[in-house]
Amino acid sequence: MADLWQSAMDHAVAIARKAGETIREALLNDRKVTTKSSSVDLVTQTDQKVEKMIIQSVKERFPAHRFIGEESVAAGEASNLTTAPTWIIDPIDGTTNFVHAFPFVAVSIGFAVNSQVEFGVVYSCLEDKMYTARRGKGAFCNGEPLQVSDQTDVKQSIIATEFGSSRDPEVVENIFSSLRKILCIPVHGVRGAGTAAVNMCLVASGSVEAYYEIGIHVWDVAAGSLIVTEAGGVLMDVEGGEFDLMSRRVVAANNKTIAERIVKEIAAFQPERDDHSPQ
């Protein structure tokens, strides 16, 4: 049977590559920064330009589809995930890296139908790595199949996480409490690429055993979530329940043993969900 969403996925790969070219060019000459929710939540004209470019091109090809885009939501659009075919876009995942020319910057495009991710595309554009996954058909990097690590001992593992963009003392306290406990299990190391999407691709590639973060948004993890599961990994909420795309909390791991061990050490808190109704 023909794959209903294959042409949409092909379009996503092509547009992610084009977006990556724009980002690489901008890195050399156009990094004017402004801030969003806090002085460390950065945005550039390139984030906005790339998101517009992606949405415009998808609209021309698939006029009935919907969008949840990071910069459109920042400009006041709703971020509700309905059953309709929806493109979930982070035009630059790793804006802080982009601003500082720290070399991990990704374009993340997830596509969900009936609230389930059908395909995910993460283009790590400075490394020229195109990560793709189609539900039920595996995960790939530049066409090569991906497989998570087979490690089951957390003490032999590397765990990825991020500090996020909140500097609220209570949030920072929770982040450090989790970090200290996980580091002192002890694990081999803790890493962070500065982009949630790339961290998830590192889980899928077997380079780290797990990635966890509280405070990410649906556009950071939609594409990566499928890349992880299609590479044989698992997703979980930070309190051990089922992963929820809109909850802003994620544990992505190579297997359930590692995920559950990490969960034991995480100081969980609940930021405002992505699908909260405006007051």
Ligand X SMILES: O=P([O-])([O-])O[C@@H]1[C@H](O)[C@H](O)[C@@H](O)[C@H](O)[C@H]1O
90 a catalytic residue = yes
Residues 220-239 that bind ligand X (CB under 6 A): 220
Bridge-based pairing state of the strands 189-191 and 158-160: parallel
Q: Residue 150 annotated as binding?
A: no
Give, as ranges, the residues between 124 and 163 that touch ligand X (CB under 6 A).
162
- Indicate if 3 belongs to the active site: no
- Confirm or deny that 90 is annotated as ligand binding: yes
Q: Is 220 a catalytic residue?
A: yes
Nearest approach in angstroms of CB 192 to ligand X is 7
Query: What is the closest distance, in whole angstroms, from the C-beta atom of residue 197 to ligand X in the complex?
Result: 7
Q: Does 216 bind ligand X (CB under 6 A)?
A: yes
Closest CA to 225 of 152, 121, 128: 121
Residues at the contact surface with Mg ion, assessed by CB under 5 A: 70, 90, 92-93, 220
- Residue 275 annotated as lining a ligand binding site: no
162 versus 274: smaller Cβ distance to ligand X:
162
Q: Which residue is nearest to ligand X (CB)?
A: 162
Smallest gap from Cβ 252 to ligand X, in A, equals: 13
Residue whose CB is less far from ligand X, 100 or 155: 100
Peptide linkage before 186 cis (omega within 30 of 0): yes
**Which two structure tokens, joined as six digits, stand for 250?**
């994620």
Does 79 sit near ligand X (CB under 6 A)? no
Out of 51, 70, 71, 213, pick the active-site residue. 70
Stretch that binds ligand X, among 53-61, 85-93, 249-257, 258-266 (CB under 6 A): 85-93
Return the range that interacts with ligand X (CB under 6 A); candidates 53-61, 80-88, 212-220, 258-266.
Answer: 212-220
**How far apart are alpha carbons 233 and 201 in whole angstroms?**
11
Q: Is 92 marked as binding a ligand?
A: yes
The number of residues in the chain equals 279
70 is catalytic: yes
Residue of the chain from 46, 86, 151, 195 that contacts ligand X (CB under 6 A): 195
How far apart are CB 71 and ligand X at their closest, in Å? 9
Q: Which of 23, 195, 12 is nearest to 125 (CA)?
A: 23
Q: Does 71 bind ligand X (CB under 6 A)?
A: no
Say which residues have a Cβ less than 8 Å from residue 198's Cβ, sequence separation at least 6.
93, 94, 104, 106, 122, 124
The residue (of 162 and 230) whose beta carbon lies closer to ligand X is: 162
Catalytic residue positions? Answer: 70, 90, 92-93, 95, 220
Q: Which residues bind ligand X (CB under 6 A)?
A: 70, 90, 92-95, 162, 164-165, 194-196, 213, 215-216, 220
